[in-house]
Amino acid sequence: MVETLRERLLPDSQRRTPEELDDDLNLRSGDARAKQSAFWAMLVLSSIIASAGVLGDSTATVIGAMIIAPLSTPIMGIALGIVLGHRNGSLVYVTLGAVVVVAIGVAFSLAVPQDISLLGNSQISSRTSPGLADLAAAIATGFAGSIALSRRDVAAVLPGVAIAISLVPPLAVVGVCLGQGAPDLALGALVLFLSNLLAMVAAGVLIFATLNPAGATSHRRQGLVITTLAVVIAIPLIGNTAAVYALDHYTSEVRSTTEQWLAPTPDASVTGVDFTSLTDVHISVRHTGDLPSYDSLLDALHGVVPDGVTVHVDASVGSDTTIGDVGDD
């Protein structure tokens, strides 16, 4: 069964040799100086493009940075090094490259006004709260990339793989968020990058191992590596997914409770409920008559949201807006 699957995925007529893969993915083999200069040049340019695209909230610009995708080479080099059982320096290039991208993101962030709305920027908000769906996409993309590298006839899909895996943009978001003083958002983007990286490595180990290279590490060790990577990836993403579901639940309950609180007020409605953090929720309401007592809303929310959550009510009357802090529930 396994042999048949390998033949279908990597037929002998199109299968590349481990030596060919090492020449492509090992930045210290062959003409190392040329490989390394190309890597660093493309990485810096990709970082500049990604940072500009993130700050400008430009999807097209960010996609341009994805296509360049210089980090994918040493990342897949890590997987090949694990299978071949030798160190090729790929982890060093990935680590230093990540630091360079983050530093460029910080520099770009400091060059713009400090009052930009991070969560209002789709390029940032979409990369700061990864979940299991991102993990599934990363694993599938990792398999697509490793298979494309292992075959001579499907290299044309690599640009699509580069767009799907998104390596440099999350690191640029890390830098931008750090520069804007938002370490919690930076951490979320870093988790996304690390999950993509580890998913690519795990998929690469699994696919490259099917090439049966001479001197390869044991299947037991390869399996241990894959299992460890899977656990490391899954834990934070499962936790974040659970947190997202919990916030969605609390948001729905707060909206329902506030609507009941507004029921005696004609033409009053809830226009928004947003948890800006785990301890702050903002409720936006619009009304034409007098609002019920804020204390009654606080009493109604008791038990609906966890203790210690501060409730803010933004009340709009026509073109006039009043903002009140109800207090801690």
pLDDT (tens digit per residue) in 48-59: 999 999 998 899
245 assigned to some structural domain? no
218 falls in which pLDDT band (50, 70, 90)? Answer: low
Give the structural domain span for 119: 2-217
Q: How far is CA 254 from CA 247, 266, 285, 305, in A?
A: 10, 20, 12, 7
319 falls in which pLDDT band (50, 70, 90)? Answer: very low
229 assigned to some structural domain? no
- 320 or 15, higher pLDDT: 15
Per-residue burial over 139-156, b if 16 or more Cβ lie within 10 Å, else e, is bebbbbbbbbbbbeeeee
Residues 272 and 203 occupy one common structural domain: no
Residues 271 and 135 occupy one common structural domain: no
pLDDT digits (tens, 9 = 90+) for 83-114: 888 888 899 999 999 999 999 999 999 887 76
228 assigned to some structural domain? no
Residue 63 has pLDDT above 60, yes or no: yes
193 assigned to some structural domain? yes
Q: Is the separation of the CB atoms in 204 and 177 below 8 Å?
A: no
207 assigned to some structural domain? yes
Residues 88 and 145 occupy one common structural domain: yes
Top-confidence range, 67-76, 141-150, 166-175, 296-305: 166-175
d(CA 48, CA 52): 6
* Confidence (pLDDT) at 222: 67
Residues 82 and 146 occupy one common structural domain: yes
* Confidence (pLDDT) at 33: 92
By CB atoms closer than 10 A (0-12, 13-18, 19+), residue 78 is buried
Residues 210 and 319 occupy one common structural domain: no
Residues 182 and 268 occupy one common structural domain: no
pLDDT digits (tens, 9 = 90+) for 245-299: 787 888 898 899 888 888 888 888 888 888 766 677 888 888 877 888 888 888 8
* Both tokens assigned to 281: 């929720």
Mean pLDDT of the chain: 82
Residues 289 and 205 occupy one common structural domain: no
Which spans in the chain are helix H? 2-9, 18-25, 32-55, 59-68, 72-84, 90-110, 122-125, 132-150, 158-165, 168-179, 183-209, 219-262, 294-301
153 assigned to some structural domain? yes
254 assigned to some structural domain? no
* Confidence (pLDDT) at 309: 82
CB atoms < 10 A from the CB of 39, how many?
A: 17
Strand order in the sheet with 310-317: 269-277, 280-286, 310-317, 320-328
Residues 203 and 291 occupy one common structural domain: no
Domain termination residue (choose one: 188, 217, 246): 217
Residues 209 and 280 occupy one common structural domain: no
150 assigned to some structural domain? yes
Residues 85 and 157 occupy one common structural domain: yes
State how many domains the chain has.
2
* Confidence (pLDDT) at 310: 84
Residue 329 has pLDDT above 60, yes or no: no
Beta partners for residue 328, in sequence order? 310
Which of the residue ranges 65-69, 93-97, 116-120, 175-179 would you say has the lowest mean pLDDT?
Answer: 116-120
Residues 212 and 76 occupy one common structural domain: yes
* Confidence (pLDDT) at 53: 92
Domain termination residue (choose one: 217, 239, 254): 217
Query: Which residue is associated with the tokens 């060059």?
Result: 111
320 falls in which pLDDT band (50, 70, 90)? Answer: very low
**% pLDDT > 90, the chain:** 18
pTM over 0.85: no
Residues 213 and 76 occupy one common structural domain: yes
Query: How remote is the C-alpha of 144 from its chain's centroid?
Result: 18
